[in-house]
Every structure is written in structure tokens, then in C-alpha cells.
Amino acid sequence: MSYSRPAAPDELRPLEVFGNSARFLYDEDHFSSPEEAAGWLVSHGLGSFPLDTRGLERLVRFRETLRDHLDGVDVSAALNEFAASAVSGPRWPGPALAAAGEGVDGLIGRLLEVLFRAEVTGQARRLKPCRAPECRWLFYDRSPAGNSVWCSMDICGARHKMRAYRSRR
């Protein structure tokens, strides 16, 4: 099965793509080795740079911090830690934040800039991880009320409903 939701709007797509570098429900993680991660980043338009084990661990930690943040978990300290090395102060005119370097920090800085803009405009509240703990796929919630919780009703929603049904019996 595959995910059927339409992609996030262009300005949020880098966050969605990066956050979905792992499909835990299918036991897939494109950040399982530096070589695989570097190739995946290039093929998804997120950058081309040398990647070692330490940089890969940083990207994985940022991905999970991003997912937690979008899920409403207070990870301000972790985001500030990433920002301290990946972002330089505001510049005018231009982006609200500027990536402080290249490589892993450059990518994290660019993603933090996208996240910052999404927070300011209110769009970030519609980009969310699936509520299923074994999934956590990021999706853009296009429902009028903005209250979707599953990446797909055919996959995670159906599993949840079946579990709830079985627990009542």
C-alpha cells in the first residue's frame, strides 16, 4: 500500500520530504547509512554534500525532532540547539533566517527557515505526523477543520479502528 494524500504546498514540501525520509510502517529508513542518505538527499533535491556517520546521526535526530515538534511536543531546547549551529541571525532584506553553513548544518538551517516561516504563517499546524506511533508519516492536513490524524484512513486509520473494535469485544 502507499500513501494517498496530496503533497504539501510547495513552501512546506522540503519539510514533508525530509521528514518522510523514513517509512517506519514499512521498515524503511533512507538514513540507514551515510552513502544511502547522501544519494537520497540528492535525488530529493535537498542537497549534495559529503556525509559521515556523525552528520547522519545529526540528520536523523533533526528528523525526529521535527516530527515531534509538528506533533505538538515541546522540543524548543533541541530546536534551539540545532539553530545555534545551523542558523545565523536575521538578515534584511531576505529570509527571516539564514543558513550558517553548508553540508548538514546548511540543510538543517534551510529546513529551520522553512519551519520558521510556516510557524509565522500558521501553515505548520497543518503539517503533522500520523498519530499511529509505528508510522509517524508526515502529511499535510487539507481537511476544512484541520483535524485529520491519520496519514491514510486505508492504512493507519483502518488499523486503529480494527484495534478499537477488537478491544471492545
Residue 132 lies in a domain: no
Residue 154 lies in a domain: no
* Amino acid occupying residue 45: G
> What are the cell numbers at 128?
503533522
For residue 13, pLDDT over 80 is answered with yes
Residue 131 lies in a domain: no
**Could you tell me the residue range of the domain that residue 54 belongs to?**
10-125
Residue 141 lies in a domain: no
* Amino acid occupying residue 161: K
Section 48-61 average pLDDT = 97
How far apart, in Å, do the first and last CA atoms of the chain sit? 28
Residue 35 lies in a domain: yes
Cβ(79)–Cβ(65) below 8 Å: yes
What confidence tier does 2 reach under pLDDT thresholds 50, 70, 90? Answer: low
Residue 158 lies in a domain: no
Count how many domains the chain has.
Answer: 1
Greatest alpha-carbon span in the chain: 62
Segment of 42-51, 80-89, 155-164 carrying the highest mean pLDDT: 42-51
* Residues 106-158: tens digit of each pLDDT: 999 999 999 999 999 999 999 999 988 888 999 999 999 988 888 877 778 66
For residue 91, pLDDT over 50 is answered with yes
Residue 145 lies in a domain: no
Mean pLDDT for the chain? 88
Bigger pLDDT: 65 vs 165: 65
* pTM, to two decimals: 0.87
- Which run of H or of E encompasses 34? helix 34-43
Q: Torsion angle of alpha carbons 126, 163, 4, 128, nearest 10°?
A: 20
* Amino acid occupying residue 162: M
Residue 160 lies in a domain: no
